[in-house]
């Protein structure tokens, strides 16, 4: 990208060049604060392009934009993952945001008051670091997956692109959240499909329908953005449930899966004779297993004492125990909309205001 500083020191480093990082960059630039966005992908937007082929956003285009630039699509259409990637790339270009691609951070530490950021043999320092990455970084697969027979083709949802990757034969999809349901629909057809895992529920309308388009505004803007926050009793009660189990099914409904011949089964609890075994001890003879079992946060590269049991210890993205360190894009960081495209801007703007205040205090000291 253009406008990338060549200095080994930057006032504010933003780690992650997806919608969260670009939104942070927009607000930093708006306030005239020097910064550099670091992204491990080859191109801005690859975080979306490198997902399964049939993926579309869950929200209409009018709710799929980040601050300052509307998504270039009809307002009631649903962007494909490639269209979303291209939109992010155009966003970075049009706002001339300084992005250094191909810079995958593998260590963040602190030395002599400054943050030290390393990527292979490359190194830079920063006064502030904003980690603009979600909780979903490292694929999570149960340990017993290694006991499955070598003839079974195993993929994690992050590796899945299309049914052409699968062997002939039946398919077990482990994890019945949105990714599992979407992939089950994608692979359904001639073969037998099992979808294993707890029922996460589903929203009571079809998002592609006239009703869905009518209610999406009050649901997203009202409930997700304003009601379900860490400041409300309802939001505080829901937050741990969302972090533990994810949200309800949005696009694909259980009835649709049943019509496609997808069979819902219980949890996969182990392996017997090289085959997956369910919690009722039923053994499934399958040729393929797709793990839609979620992700670890993947923050092991942060060598700072800022983590609780499940997530960074922060107050609305501000890590008070490590001045100058911030997070944006985390699941339910402030509200249910925090990791969503239409919700990340509010968190980004808030964190950037805290950076601005910190730099003003440092300048006055």
Question: CA 65 to CA 70: how far, in whole Å?
Answer: 5
- Render pLDDT for 144-184 as a digit per residue (tens, 0 to 9): 999 999 999 999 999 999 999 999 999 999 999 999 999 99
Q: Please answer whether residues 23 and 137 qualify as being in contact, where contact means their C-beta atoms are separated by less than 8 angstroms.
A: no
The pLDDT value given to residue 184: 98
Q: What percent of the chain has pLDDT over 90?
A: 72
Tell me, what's the pLDDT at 2? 44
Helices first, then strands: H and E counts in the chain? 8, 16
Residue 108 has pLDDT above 60, yes or no: yes
Which of 85-89, 157-161, 210-214, 260-264 is predicted with the least confidence, judged by mean pLDDT? 210-214
Q: Which two tokens stand for residue 191?
A: 């073969």
CA-nearest of 332, 354, 353 to 343 is 332
Name every residue whose Cβ is closer than 8 Å to that of residue 323 and which is 6 or more positions away in sequence.
358
Query: What domains sit in the chain, N to C, each tagged with a CATH number?
Result: 9-137+297-364 (3.50.50.60), 142-291 (3.50.50.60)
The model's confidence at residue 203, banded by pLDDT at 50, 70 and 90, is confident
In the predicted structure, residue 271 carries a pLDDT above the cut 60: yes
Q: What is the mean pLDDT of residues 120-135?
A: 93
pLDDT given at position 217: 67
Instruction: Please write the tens of the pLDDT for every residue from 171-181.
Output: 999 999 999 99
pLDDT for 7? 56
Q: Give, in degrees to the nearest 5, the angle at Cα 189 between 185 and 194.
A: 60
């Amino acid at each position: 990208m253009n406008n990338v500083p060549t200095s080994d020191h930057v006032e504010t480093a933003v780690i992650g060049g997806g919608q969260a990082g670009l939104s942070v960059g927009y607000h930093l630039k708006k306030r005239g604060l020097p910064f550099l966005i670091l992204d491990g992908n080859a191109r801005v937007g690859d975080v979306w392009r490198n997902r399964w082929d049939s993926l579309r956003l869950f929200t209409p285009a009018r709710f799929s934009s980040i601050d300052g630039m509307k998504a270039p699509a009809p307002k009631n259409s649903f962007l494909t993952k490639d269209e979303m990637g291209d939109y992010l790339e155009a966003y970075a270009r049009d706002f001339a945001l300084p992005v250094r691609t191909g810079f995958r951070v593998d260590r963040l530490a602190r030395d002599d008051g400054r943050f030290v950021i390393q990527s292979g043999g490359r190194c830079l320092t920063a006064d502030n670091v904003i980690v603009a990455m979600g909780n979903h970084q490292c694929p999570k697969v149960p340990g017993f997956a290694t006991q499955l027979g070598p003839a079974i083709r195993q993929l994690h949802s992050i590796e899945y692109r299309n049914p052409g990757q699968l062997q002939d034969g039946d398919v077990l999809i482990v994890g019945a959240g949105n990714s599992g349901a979407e992939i089950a629909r994608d692979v359904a057809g001639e073969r037998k499909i099992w979808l294993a895992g707890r029922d996460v529920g589903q929203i009571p309308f079809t998002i592609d329908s006239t009703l869905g388009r009518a209610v999406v505004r009050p649901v997203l803007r009202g409930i997700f953005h304003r009601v379900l926050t860490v400041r409300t009793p309802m939001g505080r009660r829901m937050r741990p449930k969302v972090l533990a189990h994810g949200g309800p099914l949005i696009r694909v409904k259980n009835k649709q899966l049943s019509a496609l011949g997808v069979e819902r089964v219980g949890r996969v609890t182990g392996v017997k004779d090289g085959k997956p075994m369910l919690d009722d001890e039923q053994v499934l003879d399958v040729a393929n297993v797709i793990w839609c079992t979620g992700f670890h946060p993947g923050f092991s590269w942060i060598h700072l004492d800022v983590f609780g049991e499940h997530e960074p210890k922060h107050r609305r993205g501000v890590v008070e125990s490590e001045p100058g360190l911030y997070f944006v894009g985390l699941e339910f960081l402030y509200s249910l909309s925090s990791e969503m495209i239409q919700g990340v801007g509010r968190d980004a703007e808030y964190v950037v205001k805290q950076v601005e205040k910190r730099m003003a205090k440092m300048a006055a000291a």
